[in-house]
Structure 1
Amino acid sequence: MKNYKFIISTIFLTALFHSCTTNSTVKELKQGNWRGEITIQQKQLPFNFNVSKSNDDYKIVLHDGDNPIEIDEIEVRNDSVFFTMHIFDIDVKAKILENTIEGTYTKNYAEDYILAFKATYNKESRLDNAKAETDFNGKWSFKFDEDPAEKKKIAVFKTEDGILKGTLLTPTGDYRFLEGTSDDGAFKLYAFDGNHMYIFEGKLTDNETLTGEYWSGKTAYKTFTATRDENATLPDASTLTYLKDGYDKIEFSFPGLNGTQVTLEDEKYQDKVVILQLLGSWCPNCMDETKFLTKWYDQNKDRGVEIIGLAYELKDDFEYAKGRVSKMKKRLNVNYDFVIAGTSDVGNASKSLPMLNKVMSFPTSIIIDKNGKVRTIHTGFNGPATGDYYDEYVLEFNHLLDELLSE
């Protein structure tokens, strides 16, 4: 009887040891094209990405209009994949199945912000049978129905490669790359940059007017109306934010990423043109502007110009904010300076710079001449998705900076 118990115990311990020391099979994440879908408000937001692998390192490229977004913080463990959405504090966790991955999309900085995520392998297009058979091309005067009359926007649509594309311009920035399909007098347009997610569905009520619905994230929902208008305009971006009466310069003291206080009185910024960029690492429009300023600064930094990024982050925690901004700085190869200026609430941001009438948008850029005088304040940013508007901004920016640097 004792021998029998000994044999049973030996078998049990051997099996237990084997189960604790044998690694589970690690599944491969298939390389190639995928179509992802995130469920927002019971609707599917489609987007495309590509997976590649070099040695043991995976890379994901998220297709965001003409702006590919690289994701390289990826781990495949056992039967699941885990990755972080570019510079954002957002994680995807998904189980690897035969030709799909299924799991969750989580915004770590927001409370209870978890959405269903699914992706299907070997799907190259955003939509099956996408087309652009109804003519929405051109400019439209656009307004969310709940907004006051003065808060009009401009929708710009174009047909490209048989797909309807466009964006929505506002006084504080654009909705970046919209892409979708149109047929039988109606359209569906989608945008996803890793953080912000938009769905627009509209239909013509006559040839000059359209109405529709808009969904964003977990809860935002609005209806809209738009009319064809090639002469639609927005307020001058250089008139919205300005110095209050009684102030003639910008003053601040904010900690840099190394913790040392930074001011405009520091020797580094004396007798130079200085650009202040009010931004947040969470803000895709800010990412567009940062890419533009990074390239411009690298080409012009020897001409007597400096840029300081005043970062307004999602949490009132210096170490958290420092980590987010440092990651953005590294990922986008930014060589100019950053300080942690406060939190992303525009009311708090306005208090941090009391000489301004208000901070109404991230990004906002303040351009200061060599004598410390504010020469212009530009609210918002027209990014690459806006086409001619972006090109016009670049020309105006370069003209002004050339003028200031030659003074």
Structure 2
Amino acid sequence: MTLFPKSGIPALVALLFVLLTVGSCVFVQQRYTSLPPGPYRGILELEYNPIVPNPKGEPIPEKVDLEFDEVTAGALPFTFDVVYEDDTTFHLVIHNGEEEILVPAEDIETGRDQSIGRDTLRINFPVYDTHISAFHEENVIEGVWVVHYRENYRIPFKAYFGKDFRFTSLRKEPVADLTGTWAVDFAGSGAEAGYPGVAEFRQQGNELTGTIRTETGDYRYLEGTVQGNKMYLSVFDGSHAFLFEALIREDGSLTGTFRSGRHYITDWTAERDAEAELTSPDELTRLREAVPLAFAFPTAEGDTVRLADIQGPKLVQLFGTWCPNCRDETNFLKQYLAGNDVEDLQVIALAFEQYGAEDDRSKAAVRRYRDNMEVDWPILLAASNDKREAGQALPMLNKVISYPTLLFVDRNNRVRRIHTGFNGPATSKYADFARSFDATVKELIAEEPVAATDQ
């Protein structure tokens, strides 16, 4: 018995496909032009803080006397542009101070959720293993920023088309010019101890930019505003989500809070100090004993690489694909190698990943990083990013306290210098590091190998 005539089968199949498509959530990965081109103001809601309408702009006590149109506590703002390359393809440019971060078209997916009739948007940050998943309608984007390597880590995200200011469009006269160098003290959070920092601020009117250096690296390009006796700074780059808020006290000092995403918050204070300095990055990590460096770790493809098999002077970079400061150092190394005659110099990168050395997700992260950064030196999977495990992977070091950490190694695999952290291009120390780096590398290249009996 035939339920349907053969001639009706194609029509039936087509009908079933339409019904299934309409009745389910279908994410179509295609480019389309419904997202307006131009500036957007993005906001990550680090804490739940609903806004109560106040059209008259009168002070709201629970907002610490901030007016309705001003900054909302716990909201991390950043700006970006949607730029069309043709009628259907666009990329994003995220702005943090002097830095512009390109999110290429191939990392952006658009579609439509047929179950609710809304347009969808996914912005991928593949190097950092994070993404933004959102709906968009007319001039508003609304969704979440998802960090895959943290369990159930999702931060609400909104963006508004046509708004090119970061914290506020108001222009309250600042009570002080914060330009200069500041000694910073972070109080720490929970079991984590406090730590020092050095802030480098530049202020023009209400606009405030700069960075904060710490002994494990800098907080990259910060951008914000000074409004009356309050200052605000933020950065979002797909990995970092930093928010600084502070009160300018009558004595000129600063006191406020620092948030890193939703997982970390601490108090911080700062005082002007043109001579403020941190411990030298060459003094933070040491060898336990003066023995040649030795290790053997696998590549993402499973091939074991031994340091002893690599000839010539070497740079050994301890890094993580998830680490923006490591990315800055990798860019520096690439530029240096491209601009200098150092064919004898070898670079080996040791990856300390969120998921550990053996997890397939770590291997995939290393491959993405290698391809995205166009790195042509070996990247080896050493251990997880837990610093105790990192210390066990490299027991000849007294400790691993920062990613990145750079080891300068001579032809006989003796460690000649260890540089902890990285003062990137957002800091005043970047040029000094570049000069000292060049001097150390030239010394290593100029040296002749030492016979084993002479070591």
Q: Report how far residue 15 of structure 1 moved.
A: 7.5
Residue equivalent to 1:221: 265
User: Is the deviation greater in 153-162 or in 254-263?
Assistant: 153-162
Query: Quick one: which amino acid aligns to residue 41 of structure 1?
Result: E
Query: Partners in 2 of 1:146 and 1:24 — Cα distance?
Result: 43
Query: Partners in 1 of 2:166 and 2:396 — Cα distance?
Result: 46
Matched, 1:324 2:355: no
Query: Partners in 1 of 2:318 and 2:204 — Cα distance?
Result: 34
Residue equivalent to 1:41: 47
Q: Report how far residue 143 of structure 1 moved.
A: 0.5
Residue equivalent to 2:396: 355
Q: How does 1:1-80 map to 2 (within 5 A)?
A: 19=19, 28-42=34-48, 43-55=74-86, 56-72=88-104, 73-78=107-112, 79-80=119-120
Q: Structure 1 75/139 Cα, relative in aligned 2: closer, same or farther at 3 Å?
A: same
Q: Report how far residue 336 of structure 1 moved.
A: 1.8
Q: Structure 1 370/127 Cα, relative in aligned 2: closer, same or farther at 3 Å?
A: same
* 1:255/1:261 contact within 8 Å kept: yes
Q: Structure 1 105/354 Cα, relative in aligned 2: closer, same or farther at 3 Å?
A: same
User: SS of the counterpart of 1:377?
Assistant: strand
Q: How does 1:5-404 map to 2 (within 5 A)?
A: 19=19, 28-42=34-48, 43-55=74-86, 56-72=88-104, 73-78=107-112, 79-129=119-169, 133=174, 134-146=176-188, 151-160=195-204, 163-245=207-289, 247-266=290-309, 269-270=310-311, 272-300=312-340, 302-316=342-356, 317-386=358-427, 388-404=428-444
Q: Report how far residue 155 of structure 1 moved.
A: 1.2
Query: Partners in 2 of 1:235 and 1:332 — Cα distance?
Result: 30
Query: Quick one: which amino acid aligns to residue 109 of structure 2?
Result: E
User: SS of the counterpart of 1:361?
Assistant: coil
Query: Partners in 1 of 2:45 and 2:236 — Cα distance?
Result: 12
User: Is the deviation greater in 338-347 or in 218-227?
Assistant: 218-227
Q: Structure 1 239/17 Cα, relative in aligned 2: closer, same or farther at 3 Å?
A: closer
* 2:185/2:194 contact within 8 Å kept: no
Structure 1 residue ranges, 4+ long, deviating more than 6 angstroms after superposition = 12-17, 21-27, 147-150
Q: Structure 1 189/150 Cα, relative in aligned 2: closer, same or farther at 3 Å?
A: closer
Query: Partners in 2 of 1:252 and 1:216 — Cα distance?
Result: 34
Task: Provide, for residues 255-295 of structure 1, a one-character-per-residue CA deviation record: whole Å limited to 9, x for no partner.
Answer: 013211111111xx21x110000000111111111111111
Count of residues paired in the alignment: 392
User: SS of the counterpart of 2:307?
Assistant: coil
User: SS of the counterpart of 2:134?
Assistant: strand
Query: Quick one: which amino acid aligns to residue 30 of structure 1?
Result: P
Q: Structure 1 103/176 Cα, relative in aligned 2: closer, same or farther at 3 Å?
A: same
* 1:139/1:155 contact within 8 Å kept: yes
Q: Report how far residue 301 of structure 1 moved.
A: 6.4
Query: Partners in 2 of 1:106 and 1:256 — Cα distance?
Result: 28
Q: Structure 1 161/32 Cα, relative in aligned 2: closer, same or farther at 3 Å?
A: farther
User: Is the deviation greater in 306-315 or in 197-206?
Assistant: 197-206
* 1:298/1:335 contact within 8 Å kept: no
Q: Structure 1 159/256 Cα, relative in aligned 2: closer, same or farther at 3 Å?
A: same
Q: Report how far residue 99 of structure 1 moved.
A: 0.4
Q: Report how far residue 125 of structure 1 moved.
A: 2.7
Query: Partners in 1 of 2:18 and 2:184 — Cα distance?
Result: 65
User: SS of the counterpart of 1:323?
Assistant: helix
User: SS of the counterpart of 2:339?
Assistant: helix
Task: Provide, for residues 14-49 of structure 1, a one-character-per-residue CA deviation record: whole Å limited to 9, x for no partner.
Answer: 977755578999772222221111110232111111
CA RMSD of aligned residues (A): 2.6
Query: Quick one: which amino acid aligns to residue 311 of structure 1?
Result: A
User: Is the deviation greater in 347-356 or in 204-213?
Assistant: 204-213
User: SS of the counterpart of 2:128?
Assistant: coil
* 2:185/2:268 contact within 8 Å kept: yes
Query: Partners in 1 of 2:170 and 2:333 — Cα distance?
Result: 35
User: SS of the counterpart of 2:168?
Assistant: coil
Q: Structure 1 185/402 Cα, relative in aligned 2: closer, same or farther at 3 Å?
A: same
Query: Partners in 2 of 1:145 and 1:18 — Cα distance?
Result: 59
- TM-score normalised according to structure 1 size: 0.89
* 2:296/2:304 contact within 8 Å kept: yes
Task: Provide, for residues 151-170 of structure 1, a one-character-per-residue CA deviation record: whole Å limited to 9, x for no partner.
Answer: 32111111247511121111
Q: Which stretches in structure 1 are left out of the alignment for 5+ residues?
A: 1-11
Query: Quick one: which amino acid aligns to residue 67 of structure 1?
Result: E
Q: Which stretches in structure 2 are left out of the alignment for 5+ residues?
A: 1-11, 49-73, 113-118, 448-455
Query: Quick one: which amino acid aligns to residue 75 of structure 2?
Result: Q
* 1:70/1:86 contact within 8 Å kept: no
* 2:292/2:413 contact within 8 Å kept: yes
Query: Partners in 1 of 2:279 and 2:155 — Cα distance?
Result: 36
Q: Report how far residue 299 of structure 1 moved.
A: 2.9
Q: Report how far residue 302 of structure 1 moved.
A: 4.6
